[in-house]
Amino acid sequence: MLKVRSVLTMIVTRRPLISLLVCVALVLAIPVSAAEMTPCLLVSGVSFVPVSLLPQGLQAKVVERTPTINIEGLKVVPVRHLAVSNGAQLKWNSETRTINFRWQGRDIELHALPNLAFWRDSSIIKLTGFRAQTTTAKCVRVVDGDTIKLGNDEKVRYIGVDTPETKHPYKPVQFFGHEASQFNRNLVAGERVTLEYDAGRRDRYNRLLAYVYVGDMFVNAELVAQGYAQTATYAPNLRYQELLLYLQKQAREAGKGLWSRSYPADDTTADAGGKYLGSKNSDVYHYPACKWAMKISTDNAIWFDSAVQARAAGYRPCRVCKPPQ
């Protein structure tokens, strides 16, 4: 240590010009590397990067190999998928909230911005021309998994998601309905929430329709990503439809929450033994947690052990919950 210090002292005293140049170079290097930081969107632990901000070579690969998601005209790709399909290495730094993406000897630094900041970040606005309209309010009561009440007595229905109803003949649905309410309560009860609006402000029950945030957490997305809600599409409020569909696919593949089959042992659905549910009055089969499956009465329910069995019986997969063909 002493040796290093004496060497440094020697350099500074004998070569002041070199020392000065080194200092200038260091100062210049900092803003340069900061400018190369590429913003990415982090939603429930899944990060997305705008395709247009990727290096040219990688942009071409995206077209071939990675599913892109369109959000307000901005094409984004899931970073992990991009890395896996292109043999790139990812390193997440939780302190700096950056992802080091190493591809063909090149380092790409992705800066994970909180959701709202991402959309308001000037470079993103330039890309999309998009700025959401928002208000803030206090959540005074959680009605269920996707509905809350504000201090001014307004009811807010979350856009783009549906949580299981709390009263239903099938126990697993009841189970996850209760869980969804509780999960939502943990996220928003008593919190100051930011409401982001889409094209349609109210539904026919005069409830406000909104994307809800607590700090930088996107509640609608979190519900879907953790398997407490499934996506629900109601035009014209479609801003994050593709993002929510992607998160739903991830949750389903991971068997999270309402997509899991580990129902309680005393559960009637498990007794029925089926994996997919159809109705005697239609030719469509569903995941049991699908909002349409929930509308099928016990008397009309037909259970299938496999998609093959369902199709052999003349049923086709639901276009909403998309069970296997």
Establish if 193 lies at the interface with Zn ion (CB under 5 A): no
Q: Which of 273, 310, 170, 292 is nearest to 230 (CA)?
A: 292
Identified catalytic residue from 102, 165, 185, 311: 165
Name the minimum Å distance from CB 285 to Zn ion.
Answer: 8
Binding mask 246-285 for Zn ion (x = CB under 5 A): ----------------------------------------
| CB nearer Zn ion, residue 171 or residue 322 | 322
| CB nearer Zn ion, residue 91 or residue 295 | 295
- Please classify residue 212 by burial: count the beta carbons closer than 10 Å to its beta carbon, then call 0-12 exposed, 13-18 middle and 19+ buried: buried
Residue from 130, 234, 292, 303 binding Zn ion (CB under 5 A): 292
Establish if 320 lies at the interface with Zn ion (CB under 5 A): yes
Q: Which of 252, 245, 183, 253 is nearest to 219 (CA)?
A: 183
- Say how many residues touch Zn ion, by CB under 5 A: 6
- DSSP of 234-260, one letter per residue? -TT--TTHHHHHHHHHHHHHTT-GGG-
Length of the chain (residues): 325
Q: Are strands 74-78 and 69-71 parallel, antiparallel or unpaired?
A: antiparallel
| CB nearer Zn ion, residue 207 or residue 286 | 286
Establish if 243 lies at the interface with Zn ion (CB under 5 A): no
Give the span between the Cα atoms of 191 and 138, in whole angstroms. Answer: 6
115, 216 Cβ separation under 8 angstroms: yes
Q: Can you say whether residue 246 is alpha, beta or left, with left for phi > 0 and alpha for psi between -120 and 50 degrees?
A: alpha
Give the span between the Cα atoms of 1 and 96, in whole angstroms. Answer: 29
Establish if 296 lies at the interface with Zn ion (CB under 5 A): no
In this chain, which stretch among 236-244, 262-270, 273-281, 312-320 interacts with Zn ion, using CB under 5 A? 312-320
157 is catalytic: yes
Residues 6+ apart with CB under 8 A from 48: 40, 41, 42, 69, 76, 77, 78, 79, 243
Q: Which residue is nearest to Zn ion (CB)?
A: 318
Give the span between the Cα atoms of 78 and 92, in whole angstroms. Answer: 14
| CB nearer Zn ion, residue 49 or residue 290 | 290
165 is catalytic: yes
Establish if 290 lies at the interface with Zn ion (CB under 5 A): yes
Name the minimum Å distance from CB 218 to Zn ion.
Answer: 25
Binding mask 197-236 for Zn ion (x = CB under 5 A): ----------------------------------------
Establish if 301 lies at the interface with Zn ion (CB under 5 A): no
Establish if 318 lies at the interface with Zn ion (CB under 5 A): yes
The set of catalytic residues is 157, 165, 207
User: Would you tell me which residues interact with Zn ion (CB under 5 A)?
Assistant: 286, 290, 292, 318, 320-321
